Amino acid sequence: MQVRAIVVGAGHRGLGAASYAKCRPEEFAITGVVDPSPVRRERAASLYDIPAEHCFSTVEELVAYPRIADVAINATMDSLHVPTSLPLLEAGYDLLLEKPISTNIEDLLRLYAAARRLKRTVMICHVLRYAPFYTAIRTRVAAGEIGDILSVQTVEHVSYHHMAVGFVRGKWRRKDLCGSSMLMAKCCHDLDLIAWMKSGVAPVSAASHGSLMYFRHDKMPEGAGTRCLVDCPIEEGCMYSARKHYIDHPDRWRFYVWDSIEHIAEPTIEDKIQSLRTTNPYGLCVWRCDNDVVDHQTVSVEFADGSTAVHSMVGGTARPVRSIHLVGTHGEIQGVLEDNRFVVRHIDPRPGHEYSEETVDLNVANPALERGGHGGGDRLLVEDFVRLIRGEPRSISATTLDDSINGHLIGFCADIAREERRVVDIPRIP
């Protein structure tokens, strides 16, 4: 059975998920596109031979048309996820939905209720579950290798160039623009991983601290200008120079930075420089932007069985790193995603031992690592979604709306806790 899909939001993430149709055309086909941008609609239509009558500017236009697919890939911006998903579900489409599911608890519950009422499948794009690193760790946890988990510690270091492009200059720099806090926009992967490692045990409370400490006007270096390539005398020595980030590295974050000139098929260096000098927000000094999301935050969670978890996010680091450390009643697992290896330790009370340690190196002959981004997870997620829609057995990584709620509830309640400086009880979902 070939699964037919519509791309709703034909940007980087939507077309990334759609690309599975190029790898496995016998399993997956793109039969329609929804995007308000004519440029993006035309690009998708060209890539997948979509007829003009299957190209729509809004979801309302799509659902008014006879159904042309089995599923929809919803890769719209965060604040649009629920408003666009609800009519898609009503029209009979199952969903592959980008994270975060919603921008608040109320909308999360609305979507959950609609999916249950309509008996629709909604898989969330928690691609890190599919990274071989995390899949291997979860498999060991599920097998009971370290006993009952007492503590989960996760860390995300957001690199300086990712921080600048996404959360200082970019689409996720202000909550009123994208609808999400930085915690939910960037770390709902990590919060989902925490909930996944504790699968079957509900989170009951959350606390959090964090702030916007560095990327703000009063931290601006002396003499800095407004735009890197217009009036900044210190641009040559600045770590956050737009020239260094986007011209000297022409492919770095190109799917965000060159949105404003995407109508030019092959923009030249001169086109790009002119864009950064004028209206392109990615040409602004990082200390003169209108960003208001945090640049670091720590979350503490208590679970119903008394175990705890801590997640720490720090933006502006030299190296991008995601790490995890699980401590159980019979052992522990610790590793770094970017290294693609972890260790499993067990208590060994024999004289001269103290503990045993096994190193699991996933860099050795692992073809999944060649399958794309997020540690190999991107393509594997779409592959699993297709299997789910076809009624085939799900992998250990498969996530539906039911599986994804706890991680989101942790994030929403942690943000309330940070803003109100208190511990927040996490609601239980029936």
Looking up residue 188, the CATH number of its domain turns out to be 3.30.360.10
Range 117-129 average pLDDT: 95
215: its two tokens: 């990327």
Amino acid code (one letter) for 261: I
Q: Are 331 and 357 a contacting pair, CB within 8 Å? A: no
Are 242 and 324 part of one and the same domain?
Answer: no
Asked whether residue 224 carries a pLDDT value surpassing 80, the answer given is: yes
Domain-embedded: residue 255: yes
Neighbours of 268 (CB within 10 A): 10
Quote the number of domains for the chain.
Answer: 3
Domain-embedded: residue 170: yes
Domain harbouring 85, CATH code? 3.40.50.720
288: its two tokens: 């003169």
- 3-state DSSP call for residue 359? strand
pTM exceeds cut of 0.85: yes
Q: Are 143 and 260 a contacting pair, CB within 8 Å? A: no
Are 200 and 222 part of one and the same domain?
Answer: no
Range 192-217 average pLDDT: 96
Q: What is the pLDDT of residues 81-102, one digit of tens each?
A: 999 999 999 999 999 999 999 9
- Average pLDDT, rounded, for the chain: 94
Q: What is the pLDDT of residues 35-69, one digit of tens each?
A: 999 999 999 999 999 999 999 999 999 999 999 99
Are 233 and 266 part of one and the same domain?
Answer: yes
**Quick one: which of 426, 416, 388, 373 has its CA closest to 131?**
373
Are 244 and 96 part of one and the same domain?
Answer: no
Asked whether residue 375 carries a pLDDT value surpassing 80, the answer given is: no
In the block, residue with structure tokens 């997020």: 374
Length of the chain, in residues: 430
Range 341-364 average pLDDT: 92
Asked whether residue 123 carries a pLDDT value surpassing 70, the answer given is: yes
At which of 283, 308, 328 does a domain end? 283
What local confidence, expressed as pLDDT, does residue 376 receive?
A: 57
Burial class (CB in 10 A: 0-12, 13-18, 19+), 62: buried
Range 302-327 average pLDDT: 98
Are 340 and 417 part of one and the same domain?
Answer: yes
Are 403 and 347 part of one and the same domain?
Answer: yes
Q: What is the pLDDT of residues 135-157, one digit of tens each?
A: 999 999 999 999 999 999 999 99
Are 274 and 319 part of one and the same domain?
Answer: no
Range 396-403 average pLDDT: 85
Domain-embedded: residue 430: no
Q: Are 284 and 224 a contacting pair, CB within 8 Å? A: no
Domain-embedded: residue 88: yes
At which of 102, 124, 146 does a domain end? 124
Neighbours of 42 (CB within 10 A): 16
Confidence of residue 368 (pLDDT cuts 50, 70, 90): very low
Portion of the chain with pLDDT greater than 70, in percent = 97
What local confidence, expressed as pLDDT, does residue 400 receive?
A: 79
Asked whether residue 369 carries a pLDDT value surpassing 70, the answer given is: no
What local confidence, expressed as pLDDT, does residue 371 receive?
A: 44
Q: What is the pLDDT of residues 186-197, one digit of tens each?
A: 999 999 999 999
Are 207 and 327 part of one and the same domain?
Answer: yes
Domain-embedded: residue 348: yes
**DSSP structure string for 179-191:** S--HHHHHHHHHH
**Quick one: which of 357, 211, 385, 404 has its CA closest to 296?**
211
Domain-embedded: residue 63: yes
Range 245-257 average pLDDT: 92
Are 26 and 112 part of one and the same domain?
Answer: yes
Question: Where in the sequence is the domain holding 87, given as residue range(s)?
Answer: 3-124
Are 17 and 94 part of one and the same domain?
Answer: yes
Asked whether residue 379 carries a pLDDT value surpassing 90, the answer given is: no
Asked whether residue 262 carries a pLDDT value surpassing 90, the answer given is: no
What local confidence, expressed as pLDDT, does residue 22 receive?
A: 94
Domain-embedded: residue 43: yes
Are 395 and 313 part of one and the same domain?
Answer: yes
Asked whether residue 246 carries a pLDDT value surpassing 50, the answer given is: yes
Are 177 and 242 part of one and the same domain?
Answer: no
At which of 258, 283, 308 does a domain end? 283
Burial class (CB in 10 A: 0-12, 13-18, 19+), 428: exposed
What local confidence, expressed as pLDDT, does residue 136 receive?
A: 97
b/e sequence 118-129, b meaning 16+ C-beta within 10 Å: eebbbbbbbbbb
Domain-embedded: residue 252: yes
**DSSP structure string for 54-107:** GEESSHHHHHTSPP--SEEEE---GGGHHHHHHHHHHTT-EEEEPSSS-SSHHH
